[in-house]
């Protein structure tokens, strides 16, 4: 029996729930229009041993935020991470703010991937609302 990579498996799930995506190597990209975004990009990828899948929305670099507003934003991101279901607001190694859902469930179902992606999309609107203007 041929085992699919986790990304190949996720592509079949996305097809099942009719979420459009593009694929470049082992990264899937979906695009969304929301209340606050005209073209929100959500990436789906796996770690090297394919034991984890990540649904990630890059936002902006933390240091592009006015210095006087950074600590409040970091605090608000931490508070919102506690409130939202299965999603984290984080700052990655490059100091980019991201919205992230991760799972080590390599037997995902169509409903589960749809829920994870939906949570990330919704959380991006939440981050937009707390982002200082």
Residue 85 falls within a domain, yes or no?
Answer: yes
Residue 50 falls within a domain, yes or no?
Answer: yes
Residue 84: give the domain boundaries.
6-130
Total structural domains within the chain: 1
Residue 97 falls within a domain, yes or no?
Answer: yes
Provide the CATH number for the domain around residue 80.
3.30.1460.10
CA distances from 58 to 13, 75, 92, 98, 99 (A): 23, 19, 9, 5, 7
Residue 1 falls within a domain, yes or no?
Answer: no
pTM: 0.90
62-72 per-position pLDDT tens digit: 999 999 999 99
CA distance 50 to 73: 33
Work out the number of other CB atoms within 10 angstroms of the CB of residue 90: 15
74-105 per-position pLDDT tens digit: 999 999 998 888 899 999 999 999 999 999 98
């Amino acid at each position: 029996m041929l085992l699919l990579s986790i990304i190949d498996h996720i592509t079949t799930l996305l097809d099942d729930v009719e979420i459009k995506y593009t694929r470049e190597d082992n990264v899937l990209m979906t695009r969304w229009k929301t209340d606050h975004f005209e073209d929100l990009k959500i990436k789906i990828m796996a770690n090297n041993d394919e034991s984890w899948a990540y649904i990630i929305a890059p936002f902006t670099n933390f240091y592009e935020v006015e210095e006087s507003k950074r600590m409040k934003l970091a605090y608000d991101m931490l508070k919102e991470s506690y409130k939202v279901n299965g999603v984290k607001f984080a700052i990655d190694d490059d100091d980019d703010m991201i919205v992230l859902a991760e799972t080590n469930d390599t037997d995902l179902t169509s409903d589960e991937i749809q829920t994870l992606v939906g949570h990330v999309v919704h959380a991006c609107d939440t981050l937009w609302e707390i982002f200082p203007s």
